[in-house]
């Protein structure tokens, strides 16, 4: 039952949590081109959006990891554990995609001499 609830939460967060600003469907090359055309203020705003999405995604990942650690070793190969591992892999990939796109914006800010220390990656 908890697994179903976590999966429903993941779907809701995926649809709502990242918002329109932190888009991982756009190729990184296109994100780089967009970042080159942005103003410094726009770059800071976009970096903040990605940071917020990363924080939300990390909050989504932690309960999944916690659930996996509570599954007995003898049941680690069961369907429930494998589904949980799959959810963790998907969420981790999404987190890495967000981080990669945040880094594009941070690099653009650095190239313009802007500080980026406020964006923990």
Q: Which spans in 13-114 are helix H? A: 28-37, 40-69, 79-111
**Region class of 23: left (phi > 0), else alpha (psi between -120 and 50), else beta:** beta
Q: Is residue 14 part of a domain?
A: no
Distance CA 68, CA 99 (A): 24
- What are the tens digits of pLDDT across the range 31-72? 999 999 999 999 999 999 999 999 999 999 999 999 988 888
Summarised one tens digit per residue, pLDDT across range 5-39 is: 555 444 444 444 444 578 889 999 999 999 999 99
User: Domain with 36 in it: what CATH number?
Assistant: 1.10.287
Give residue 80's domain range. Answer: 29-121
- Domain tally for the chain? 1
Classify residue 121: in a domain, yes or no.
yes
Residue 36 belongs to some domain of the structure? yes
Rounded to whole angstroms, the Cα distance separating 97 from 42 reads: 20
Q: Could you tell me which residues come within 8 angstroms of residue 75 by beta carbon, excluding any fewer than 6 positions away?
A: 81
Q: What is the pTM of this model?
A: 0.77
């Amino acid at each position: 039952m908890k697994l179903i609830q976590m999966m429903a939460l993941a779907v809701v967060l995926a649809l709502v949590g990242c918002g329109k600003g932190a888009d991982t469907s756009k190729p990184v090359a296109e994100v780089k081109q967009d970042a080159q055309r942005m103003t410094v203020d726009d770059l800071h705003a976009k970096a903040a959006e990605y940071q917020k999405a990363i924080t939300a995604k990390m909050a989504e990942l932690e309960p999944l990891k916690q659930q996996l650690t509570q599954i007995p070793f003898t049941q680690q190969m069961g369907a429930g554990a494998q589904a949980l591992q799959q959810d963790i892999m998907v969420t981790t990939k999404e987190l890495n995609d967000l981080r990669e796109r945040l880094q594009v914006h941070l690099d653009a800010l650095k190239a313009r001499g802007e500080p980026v220390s406020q964006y923990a990656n």
